[in-house]
Amino acid sequence: MIDRNTPPQVALIKDFTFVKAKTFDLNAPHKGFYIDATDQEIVKVELILKAGYREQKKPMQAAAVNKLLLEGTKHRSAMEIASLFEGKGAFLDTDIHADYASLVLHCLSRHLDELFPLVLEMLNDASFPEEEWLDFKQNKLNQFSIKQEKVSFLTKNAFAVNFFGKAHAYNNSLSKSDFDALSREDLLEFYEQHYVGNPITVLLSGKVKSRELDLIKQHLGGWKKPKAKNNNEGLNFNSTFQKGLELNIEKEGASQSAIRMGLPMPQKGSADFPKVFLANTLLGGFFGSRLMSNLREDKGYTYGIGSGIVNLEMAAYWFLTTEVGVEHTANSLKEIKVEMQKLNETEVEEEELQLVKSYLQGTLMRNFDGPFQAMDRFKSIHLLGLDYSYYENFVQQIKTIEAKELLAIYRQYFKFENTLKIIAGKK
Amino acid sequence: MIEFDRFVLPNGLKVIVHHDVSTPMVAVNLTYAVGARDENPEKTGFAHLFEHLMFGGSKNIPSYDKPLQSVGGENNAFTSNDLTNYYLTLPKSSLEIAFWLESDRMKELAFSERSLEVQRQVVIEEFKQRYINQPYGDVHSLLRPLAYLKHPYRWPTIGKEIKHIEEASMQEVKDFFYKFYRPNNAVLSVAGNVSRKEIEELSTKWFADIPQGKELERNYPKEEQQLQARELVVEREVPLHAVYRAYHMVDRLHPDYHAFDLLSDILSRGNSSRFHQHLIKGKRIFNEVNAYIGGDLDAGLFTLSGFINPAKSMEEAIEALQAEIESVQEGGVKHEELAKVKNKVEATLAFAQTSILNKAMGLGIAEVIQKAELVNEELEAYRKVSTEDLKRIAQEYLSVDQSSTLQYRSKQQA
């Protein structure tokens, strides 16, 4: 008979090596990085520009420009572009972020020579056809009206404006009137300023050999002379965060309420960050967290509750999100408060702390697994001006933090009474 | 090509091993051949509720999650109409923990009343979050019973109604477990830097003493040939009218299965697709419009769906969808349209093979469907589809008489 009561003896995670991105030379000020780590004949190319929504003068401007890159150039219609990429079985996507914007190509390696120059064409010669712009606007408006019926969206959309403030560069909250205020001219202006001739960061992952690197070099070499890099001048990063603000959005007929909460946090590069990250994981960052254990696995108030930390170049914040039965709204808020207070009052037991430490190390290992994931890890440090020493320090701190230090972190950063609370549904 | 080894334990548990040296992680997948189609029509949603209970502790291990998390592992599960799938990844050095956990909950659950009580509530909240408190959330609860009169696909995985979940009893939980959660009704697949020998030893050590269950007879009620179009009109507090039209298609192992998949891609995948060009651009009828198949093991549905632009009517929308189908029935599709969607399939499969979890899951599910070899035959099956096949299946299966249409009308637009 085998002993099923005690776990089999296994070796815990020792140090593991991070798969690191390497640099390759491009004409300055463009920058190139790559990870070669698969036998499949595939490649992912991400082109990143400092064209995030923080640069926009009007709501939705940066997102609209980014999305419409694919909808026509001076040489090709939207249909031609779609046919060229889809004909090769390739995927071309856009991505907009607070600090940057991307074009992302996934394709079989054998199609890279043909497709890469087309991607560059969109960064240089996009034409923003009137018709595509009007369709985009109408579709977004329709989607917006559907999303307005979702309690989770109502809290999400109210978050940035209440957390950062209306004039803050990171406020990306939308209202219906924003759709009329934006014109095609606004798009052209943003494109000229933040795309054409601007520095590009190229991230190449998959099977990446000298053929792929040479190809990228060759095409980016012929790029027009980049303009001076734009900086943060003229951008407003003054947060108007008010401790303890609570906002209720009544939604008639709702059977669940959405709750979203927020708190300012130290930035990723700061000394406290690894500890703050662990503190969040234990509170709400994984299935075994205090919040999941209480609100889902003990009380059954919700299908899920989670919290996380968002790292931006000029700010960082903690958020919590859940949807709970309307009859459990008040009790859910009470239990969130109970959990945060407990962590402010009592040191975490050693067993629980060890579990979270091991879980985090496993997660990091998992998140570095495969070329695309490993490149995402690089991206998340590089774009914040950090390097791999961030991860080395992170692992070191996670391994050594003690319950006493963690208590101090909760007391400094995780106070329920300080949180911004947005509740949509019925309180 | 995904190479693998296969062996079967004396109690009927099938085990698949895939060797991949590129990663320090291992993926372990356990597929049980039981889903919502195996439920009693008066007690629907049970297979999914049961999936939640699988995390409520087993005979010898009070918590499933904690020991896994404490070695850096991560896990989840899902339930479909046909099967229930549990999966996890963890560092190779801790692999045995996965065998210990999975074998104990296959051997005997804790059957905790408390866990049943709480998970019932959690599933009811899941029901609300995904199907009630969402615009258009009840669409599939309406469309399924319209398209299926007899087959258990007529109810969704979450269940027909909340009442069924509220009524689930512990005796039913036990009966379900001993009927379906037996080694001979499951496939274990492991992918990572592991050898067949290592996995054979671990499987034998942890799973061999679990008793085999009775052979299951699966006689799902067969749907009769639909002869007349069906239609349901509902009104809801949503901003846009929406339309859903479902046709009966073939089962997962039918030679035409891949043709349906490619046809749905030609109609709606990407901006060069027919629906995008004709219906979103062109006629400007839809804000969003799709064609898709469900991937069910028994004869499934080929579904068209779309959100209708405020300036257009429900009638125009239905007519336009019908015209697209007729265009395939009469004019077929072009060779380059077919080549394009085949290329997309090739790229998608190549990207999927970079993940050990995808590979373990694909192998396990294929073995439950028929045989793990399917994962390597897939691309060829897609390649073989001809333009004639697409025209033929459209003529044979996509007639209005065999369709079910849900008009989901907006009160705000009316």
| CB atoms A89 and B343 under 8 Å | yes
Contacts of B136 in chain A (CB under 8 A): 146
Nearest CB to A149; choose among B66, B238, B271: B238
Residue of A112, A302, A303, A372 to mutate, testing the B interface (most B Cβ within 10 Å of its Cβ): A303
In chain A, the residue whose alpha carbon lies closest to the alpha carbon of B238 is: A146
Nearest CB among A135, A362, A372 relative to B90 is that of: A362
pLDDT at A1: 82
Q: Would you state the pLDDT for residue A229?
A: 53
Which residues of chain B make contact with A366, given a CB cutoff of 8 A?
Answer: 25, 72, 74, 89
Least CA distance to B114: which residue of chain A?
A298
The mean pLDDT of A176-188, rounded to a whole number, is: 95
Distance of alpha carbon A83 from alpha carbon A101, whole angstroms: 23
Contact B355 A286 (CB under 8 A): no
Q: Which among B136, B272, B340 has the least Cβ separation from residue A79?
A: B272
Kindly list the strands in the beta sheet with A420-425, ordered across the sheet, starting from the edge strand earlier in the chain.
Answer: A246-250, A420-425, A256-264, A316-325, A302-311
* Contacts B205 to A, Cβ<8 Å: 2
Half-sphere exposure for B227 (CA within 13 Å, toward CB): 1
Q: Which DSSP category does A307 fall into? A: E
Distance, in Å, from the CA atom of A318 to the CA atom of B331, rounded to the nearest integer, reads 56
Q: Whole-angstrom Cα distance, residue B65 to residue B51?
A: 14
Tell which residue, A337, A357, A333, A338, has the closest CA to residue A406.
A357
Distance CA(B272)–CA(A89), nearest Å, equals 12
The verdict on A381 touching B (C-beta cutoff 8 Å) is no
Give kind and range of the element (H or E) at residue A51. none
* B265 → chain A, closest CA residue: A86
Residue in A37, A81, A301 closest to B125 by CB: A301
* pLDDT of A220: 87
pLDDT value of residue B122: 96
Residues A379, B187: Cα–Cα separation, whole Å: 38
The pLDDT of residue A108 is above 60: yes
Q: Do A12 and B71 touch (CB under 8 A)?
A: yes
**Where do we find the tokens 């949509």?**
A424
B125/A91 CB distance under 8 A: no
Taking an 8 Å cut-off on Cβ atoms, the answer to whether B70 and A355 are in contact is yes
Q: Which of A427, A413, A115 is nearest to A273 (CA)?
A: A413
Q: What is the pTM of this model?
A: 0.95
- In angstroms, what separates the C-alpha of A226 from chain B's closest C-alpha? 32
**What whole-number distance in Å separates Cα of residue A198 and Cα of residue A228?**
8
Rounded distance between C-alpha atoms, residue A99 and residue A268, angstroms: 15
List all residues of chain A from 132 to 151 with a beta carbon under 8 Å from chain B.
135, 138-139, 142-143, 145-146, 148-151
Distance of CA A47 to the CA centre of its chain: 16
Residues 261-290 of A with CB under 8 A from B: 286-288
Give me the pLDDT at residue B46, please: 95
Contact between chains at B129 and A106 (C-beta distance less than 8 A): no
**Is A358 in Cβ contact with B271 (below 8 Å)?**
no
CA atoms within 13 A on the CB side of A263: 21
The percent of residues above 90 in pLDDT, for chain A, comes to 91
From chain A residues 59-118, the ones with a CB under 8 A of any chain B CB are: 70, 78-79, 81-83, 86-91, 106-108
Do the chains contact at B240 and A88, CB–CB below 8 Å?
Answer: no
Judge whether A49 and A199 are in contact, CB under 8 Å. Answer: yes
Distance CA A315, CA A171 (A): 12
Q: How far is CA A110 from CA A114, A120, A400, B355, in A?
A: 9, 18, 47, 21
What are the structure tokens assigned to A17, written together? 């090596």
**Contacts with A41 from chain B: Cβ below 8 Å:** 350
**Which residues in chain B touch residue A139, judged by CB atoms under 8 angstroms apart?**
280, 287-288
Residue A42 three-state SS: strand
Question: Using the beta-carbon criterion (under 8 Å), do A138 and B104 form an inter-chain contact?
Answer: no
Q: Are strands B242-248 and B230-236 parallel, antiparallel or unpaired?
A: unpaired
What is d(CA B148, CA B153) in angstroms, rounded to the nearest whole number? 7
DSSP label at A281? I
How many angstroms away from the CA of A271 is the closest CA of chain B?
Answer: 24
Residue A15 has pLDDT above 80, yes or no: no
Query: Which one of A16, A42, A149 has the shortest CB-CB distance to B239?
Result: A149
CB-CB under 8 Å, B72 with A13: yes
Q: How confident is the model at residue A311 (pLDDT cuts 50, 70, 90)?
A: very high
pLDDT at A415 over 90: yes
3-state SS of chain B?
Answer: CCCCEEEECCCCCEEEEEECCCCCEEEEEEEECCCHHHCCCCCCCHHHHHHHHCCCCECCCCCCHHHHHCCCCEEEEEECCCCEEEEEEEEHHHHHHHHHHHHHHHHCECCCHHHHHHHHHHHHHHHHHHHHCCCCCCHHHHHHHHHCCCCHHHCCCCCCCHHHHHHCCHHHHHHHHHHHCCHHHEEEEEEECCCHHHHHHHHHHHHCCCCCCCCCCCCCCCCCCCCCCEEEEEEECCCCCEEEEEEECCCCCCCCHHHHHHHHHHHHCCCCCHHHHHHHCCCCCEEEEEEEECCCCCCCEEEEEEEECCCCCHHHHHHHHHHHHHHHHHHCCCHHHHHHHHHHHHHHHHHHCCCHHHHHHHHHHHHHHCCCCHHHHHHHHHHCCCHHHHHHHHHHHCCHHHEEEEEEEECCCC
A349 touches chain B (CB under 8 A): no
A238: distance to nearest CA of chain B, Å?
Answer: 36
A-chain residue closest to B307, CA distance:
A142
Contact B272 A358 (CB under 8 A): no
Confidence grade of residue A230 (pLDDT, cut at 50, 70, 90)? low
Closest approach of chain A CAs to the CA of B389, in angstroms? 20
Mutate to test the interface with B, among A2, A9, A10 (most CBs of B within 10 A): A10
The size of the A-B interface in CB pairs under 8 A is 220
What are the residue ranges in chain B where pLDDT is below 70? 414
C-beta atoms of A303 and B122 within 8 A = yes
Give the three-class secondary structure for A252. Answer: coil
Residue A417 CB partners (closer than 8 Å, separation 6+) = A243, A244
For A289, phi and psi rounded to 5 degrees? -65, 165
3-state SS class at A102: strand
CB distance A321 to A152 below 8 Å: yes
Give the Cα separation of A82 and A372 in Å (integer). Answer: 24
> Which residues of B fall within a CB distance of 8 Å from A11?
93-94
Which of these, B234, B239, B139, lies nearest to A148 by C-alpha position?
Answer: B239
Which has the closest alpha carbon to A261: A346, A324, A178? A324
Contact A10 B309 (CB under 8 A): no
Per-residue model confidence (pLDDT) at position B288: 96
Which residue, among B122, B139, B38, has the nearest Cα to B80 in the 3D structure?
B38
Express each pLDDT in A283-299 by its tens digit: 999 999 999 999 999 99
